[in-house]
Amino acid sequence: MPGRAAGGGYGPPPGAAREHPAGNGYQAVAAPGRSRQGPPPGFGAPRGGPEGPRRRRERNVPLLVGAIGGGILLLVATTVLVISLRADDDGDPGGANRNGTGPAAGSGGDRRVSRAVRTLNATPGMNYTGTLSSAGDDMQVRLSMTKGGSGTGTLTASGRRIDVLVADGATYLRADSAFWRARPGTAATPGDFAGRWTKAPASALGFDLEDALAPAEIGRRLRPARPAARTENINGVPAFRVPTARGDHYFAAAAPHRLLRIRSGTLRVDADPATDMSAVFPELRDRIRRLSGARDPAVRFQAQGKLQFSNCNNNVSGCTLKMTAASLSPGAEGRVRAVMIGTITVGRRALGTCTAGKPLTSTTVDLSCTVRSQGWQTWMQRARTTPGTHRYAAQARVVAEAVSAADVAALLARIDREERGG
């Protein structure tokens, strides 16, 4: 949260400025100080569960009593009407009943969907290629997703590569400044996230990659769905479309009804079932190992009070900056690390930067860091020997780190279990 003005929700810009008391008897003069995801259409609805079993219906004809020739004739007639709903037959891709005379009563055409879900659940993973639009960028998508929902791949926008990692339900991106400058919440300080793994807020891409593309998630939302009546053609393959609250899913008309395409809002990807994920897991591990220190722009801070100098005047070895920051993100306590980024400047020239952090254990945190750069040392040596007033200032902001070394170890263990099929 910047001690000076900055966008992205960092808060008001308290700052600080100092003048170094020059040597040869000159007095210092005080100088004024200077002071950081809604889902797209089709992916915002809550997940629905499968329909419950339909009940057996019984109809009883009332008791009939009649009199014949003085005797009593008791007629009891009972009719039981039973509608039996069976699960899909593996060998019946067209929805015919066992006699081959047409769809079974009550099937509603969903036998193909049931078979498609089973095929999806039996697939080790999916490879996706296609396009998506986000924040004015038209991006090419290449992504591999495991059965358990871990994913790795790239997005390409105007020749710029964006690395993608999906792990334990979160999406991480490694992108340049241009990407982050075009996203809400990071536009003012894109350098804080450029070139490093960053936990992507929902607004970064406009949707949740795991929810959209993980095979298990697709299967869950398809169970209560019904296919559209019209036959489609996907890359020359006859297909049927299954609309859901999170988008349209296209499956091959022929058994076993493999997934061909997903389309939702600005996302359109073709799907290719993967039979071998041996090359995907090593890439997942390599990227996860680099996640330590990944920042989270969705967690915001606000400076409390003014930025303070400590042990700076006449100190050639360094200058310490201190501040207090408050979290603006409920629930961030205990799950992120607050990191202070401080910079000392003379005019528009930066003398040096410092970084330090600690775990966020409450809503406020006291932070400090020391600038020990060559730029500071050279400037202070000159100020000590040059008569006059020498002004310097400082600014600071606070960002959140979402992934610790312990988190990385836990994610790697999760990938190991997933590869073993656990």
pLDDT tens per residue across all 422 residues of the chain: 444 433 333 333 444 555 544 433 323 233 333 333 444 444 444 444 434 433 333 334 343 333 333 333 332 333 332 323 333 333 333 333 333 333 333 334 488 999 999 999 999 999 999 999 887 788 999 999 999 999 999 999 888 999 999 999 999 999 999 999 998 889 889 999 999 999 998 888 888 889 999 999 999 989 888 998 899 999 999 999 999 988 999 999 999 999 999 998 889 999 999 988 999 999 999 999 999 999 999 999 999 999 999 999 999 999 999 999 999 999 999 999 999 999 999 999 999 999 999 999 999 999 999 999 999 999 999 999 999 999 999 999 999 999 999 999 999 999 999 998 85
CA distance readout (Å), 33 to 172, 233, 310: 37, 66, 15
Q: Across the strands, what pairs with 64?
A: 75
Helix (H) or strand (E) segment spanning residue 293: none
**Model confidence pTM above 0.75:** no
Q: And the tokens for 93?
A: 């891709």
| Architecture of the domain whose range is 121-287 | Clam (2.50)
Q: Across the strands, what pairs with 301?
A: 327
Distance CA 353, CA 391 (A): 17
Q: And the tokens for 88?
A: 């899909």
Within 10 Å of residue 420's Cβ, how many Cβ atoms? 7
Provide the strand spans (E) within 175-295. Answer: 197-199, 231-234, 237-244, 247-252, 259-264, 267-274
Residue range(s) occupied by CATH 2.50.20 in the chain: 121-287
Kind of pairing, strands 364-371 and 319-327?
Answer: antiparallel
Residue range(s) occupied by CATH 2.60.40 in the chain: 16-36+297-404
Q: Are 316 and 374 in contact (CB under 8 A)?
A: no
Distance CA 207, CA 164 (A): 14
CA distance readout (Å), 61 to 64, 67, 85, 293, 310: 9, 19, 24, 73, 94
Q: Residue 390: exposed, middle, or buried by beta-carbon count in 10 A (0-12, 13-18, 19+)?
A: buried
Distance CA 264, CA 211 (A): 12
Number of residues assigned to the chain: 422
With a CB cutoff of 8 Å and minimum separation 6, the contacts of 163 are 154, 173, 174, 175, 197, 287
Distance CA 204, CA 149 (A): 19
Kindly report the backbone phi and psi dihedral angles of residue 372, in degrees, each rounded to the nearest multiple of 5, phi listed first.
-125, 30
Q: Residue 12: exposed, middle, or buried by beta-carbon count in 10 A (0-12, 13-18, 19+)?
A: middle
Distance CA 368, CA 374 (A): 19
Helix axes 215-222, 111-121, angle to 10 degrees: 160
Domain 16-36+297-404 has CATH 3.30.60: no
Alpha helices in 122-188 (DSSP H): 177-181
Q: And the tokens for 278?
A: 């041996």
- 393-410 burial: b if 16+ Cβ within 10 Å, else e: bbbbbbbbbbbbeebbee
Within 10 Å of residue 56's Cβ, how many Cβ atoms? 11
Question: CB-side exposure of 91: number of CA atoms within 13 Å?
Answer: 3
Kindly report the backbone phi and psi dihedral angles of residue 187, in degrees, each rounded to the nearest multiple of 5, phi listed first.
-60, -35
